[in-house]
Chains A and B, each alone.
Chain A
Amino acid sequence: MNWLPVIQRFREELRAADAASDAQRRLQLLSLLAAHRLGLVETLQLDRALFKSAGLDIDGFARVRVAVVGSATLDHLAPAIRVAALRHRLLLDVHTGGYGQYRQEILDAGSPLYAFTPQVVVLAVTANDAMGDVPVTATEAEVSAALTHAVDEMRALWRTLRDRLKVTVIQQTLLDRSLPVFGSYDRSVAGTPSHMIRRLNDLLADAARSDGVLLLDIEQHKQRDGIDAWFDVRRWLQAKQEIRPEAAALYGELLVRIIAAQRGMSRKCLVLDLDNTLWGGVIGDDGIDGIILGEGSAQGEAHLALQRYARQLMDRGILLAVCSKNDPAIAEAAFRDHPEMLLRRADFAAFVANWHDKAANLEAIAAQLNIGIDSLVFVDDNPIERARVREALPMVAVPELPDDPAEYATTLAAAGYFEAVSFTSEDRARVELYAKESQRTALLSESKSVADFLRGLDMTVEYGQFGSNDLVRVTQLVNKTNQFNTTTRRYAAEEIAAAASTSAYITLQFRLRDRFGDNGLVSTIIFGPNDEPATYELENWVMSCRVFGRELEFEAMNIAVETALRRNARGFFADYIPTKKNVVIKDLFTSLGFDRVSGGTVTDQPSRWFLDLSRYVPRQTSIARRGAA
Chain B
Amino acid sequence: MTENDILSDLTIILRDLLGDDSIMLAMDTQREHVPNWDSFNYINFMVAVEQKFRVKFKVSDIETFPNVGAIVRQIAALRPGA
Chain A residues with CB under 8 Å of chain B are: 11, 39-42, 44-45, 48, 75-76, 234-235, 237-239, 241, 244-246
> Quick check: is B34 within 8 A (CB to CB) of the other chain?
no
A44 touching B44 by the CB < 8 A rule? yes
B62 touching A40 by the CB < 8 A rule? no
CA of A39 to CA of B16, assembled, Å: 12
Residues of A within 8 A of B16 (CB): 11, 41-42, 44-45
CA of A241 to CA of B39, assembled, Å: 13
A48 touching B19 by the CB < 8 A rule? yes
A245 touching B59 by the CB < 8 A rule? no
A238 touching B40 by the CB < 8 A rule? no
Residues of B within 8 A of A75 (CB): 40
A76 touching B40 by the CB < 8 A rule? yes
B43 touching A41 by the CB < 8 A rule? no
Residues of B within 8 A of A48 (CB): 19
B13 touching A41 by the CB < 8 A rule? yes
A239 touching B47 by the CB < 8 A rule? no
Once A44-B17, A241-B43, A245-B44 are accepted as A-B contacts, the answer to whether A234 and B59 lie under 8 Å apart by CB is yes
A237 touching B59 by the CB < 8 A rule? yes
Q: Which 6 A-B pairs have the closest CB atoms?
A: A245-B47, A41-B16, A41-B48, A234-B59, A48-B19, A237-B59
> Quick check: is B51 within 8 A (CB to CB) of the other chain?
yes
A76 to chain B, nearest CB (A): 7
B65 to chain A, nearest CB (A): 12
Once A45-B19, A238-B43, A241-B43 are accepted as A-B contacts, the answer to whether A39 and B59 lie under 8 Å apart by CB is no
B62 touching A238 by the CB < 8 A rule? yes
Residues of B within 8 A of A41 (CB): 13, 16-17, 44, 48
B59 touching A40 by the CB < 8 A rule? no
Encoded as 1 (CB less than 8 Å from any A CB) or 0, chain B from 62 to 77 comes to 1100000000000000
CA of A40 to CA of B57, assembled, Å: 18
A76 touching B44 by the CB < 8 A rule? yes
A40 touching B47 by the CB < 8 A rule? yes
16 contacts between A and B (CB under 8 A): A39-B48, A39-B51, A40-B51, A41-B13, A41-B17, A42-B16, A44-B44, A45-B16, A45-B17, A45-B19, A75-B40, A76-B43, A76-B44, A237-B59, A239-B43, A241-B43
CA of A76 to CA of B62, assembled, Å: 18
CA of A239 to CA of B44, assembled, Å: 11
Scan residues 27-51 of chain B and give those whose CB is less than 8 A from a CB of chain A. Answer: 39-40, 43-44, 47-48, 51
A169 to chain B, nearest CB (A): 27
A40 touching B44 by the CB < 8 A rule? yes
A259 to chain B, nearest CB (A): 24
CA of A235 to CA of B16, assembled, Å: 21
Q: Chain B at the A interface: mostly helix, strand, loop or mixed?
A: helix
CA of A244 to CA of B63, assembled, Å: 18
Residues of A within 8 A of B17 (CB): 41, 44-45
A442 to chain B, nearest CB (A): 59
Once A41-B16, A45-B19, A48-B19 are accepted as A-B contacts, the answer to whether A235 and B51 lie under 8 Å apart by CB is no
B29 to chain A, nearest CB (A): 19
Q: Taking CB as reference atom, which chain B residue is nearest A234?
A: B59
CA of A544 to CA of B9, assembled, Å: 56
B42 to chain A, nearest CB (A): 9
Once A44-B17, A48-B19 are accepted as A-B contacts, the answer to whether A246 and B47 lie under 8 Å apart by CB is yes
Max chain A C-beta neighbours (<10 A), residue from B16, B39, B40, B51: B16
A424 to chain B, nearest CB (A): 42
Residues of A within 8 A of B57 (CB): 234
CA of A239 to CA of B58, assembled, Å: 14
CA of A42 to CA of B40, assembled, Å: 16
B81 to chain A, nearest CB (A): 24
A235 touching B19 by the CB < 8 A rule? no
Q: Taking CB as reference atom, which chain B residue is nearest A10?
A: B16
A63 to chain B, nearest CB (A): 24
B48 touching A235 by the CB < 8 A rule? no
Q: Taking CB as reference atom, which chain B residue is nearest A39?
A: B51
Residues of A within 8 A of B44 (CB): 40-41, 44, 76, 245
Residues of B within 8 A of A246 (CB): 47, 51
Once A39-B51, A40-B48, A41-B48 are accepted as A-B contacts, the answer to whether A235 and B40 lie under 8 Å apart by CB is no
Q: Taking CB as reference atom, which chain B residue is nearest A239?
A: B43
Residues of B within 8 A of A234 (CB): 57-59, 62
CA of A239 to CA of B17, assembled, Å: 18
CA of A241 to CA of B43, assembled, Å: 10
CA of A79 to CA of B59, assembled, Å: 25
CA of A75 to CA of B40, assembled, Å: 8
Q: Taking CB as reference atom, which chain B residue is nearest A43?
A: B44
A516 to chain B, nearest CB (A): 58
Residues of A within 8 A of B13 (CB): 41
CA of A45 to CA of B44, assembled, Å: 12
Residues of B within 8 A of A76 (CB): 40, 43-44
CA of A234 to CA of B60, assembled, Å: 10
CA of A308 to CA of B61, assembled, Å: 50
Residues of A within 8 A of B48 (CB): 39-41
B56 to chain A, nearest CB (A): 8
CA of A246 to CA of B51, assembled, Å: 9
Q: Taking CB as reference atom, which chain B residue is nearest A246?
A: B47
Residues of B within 8 A of A40 (CB): 44, 47-48, 51
A600 to chain B, nearest CB (A): 44
Residues of B within 8 A of A237 (CB): 59
Max chain A C-beta neighbours (<10 A), residue from B47, B58, B62: B47
Q: A44-B16, A238-B62 are in contact. List 12 more A-B contacts (CB 8 A).
A: A39-B48, A39-B51, A40-B47, A40-B51, A42-B16, A44-B17, A76-B43, A76-B44, A234-B58, A234-B59, A239-B43, A245-B43
Residues of B within 8 A of A245 (CB): 43-44, 47
Residues of A within 8 A of B63 (CB): 238
Residues of B within 8 A of A239 (CB): 39, 43
Residues of A within 8 A of B59 (CB): 234, 237-238
CA of A41 to CA of B40, assembled, Å: 13
Max chain A C-beta neighbours (<10 A), residue from B13, B43, B62: B43
CA of A279 to CA of B10, assembled, Å: 47
CA of A246 to CA of B43, assembled, Å: 11
B61 to chain A, nearest CB (A): 10
CA of A76 to CA of B59, assembled, Å: 19
CA of A11 to CA of B51, assembled, Å: 18
CA of A246 to CA of B58, assembled, Å: 17
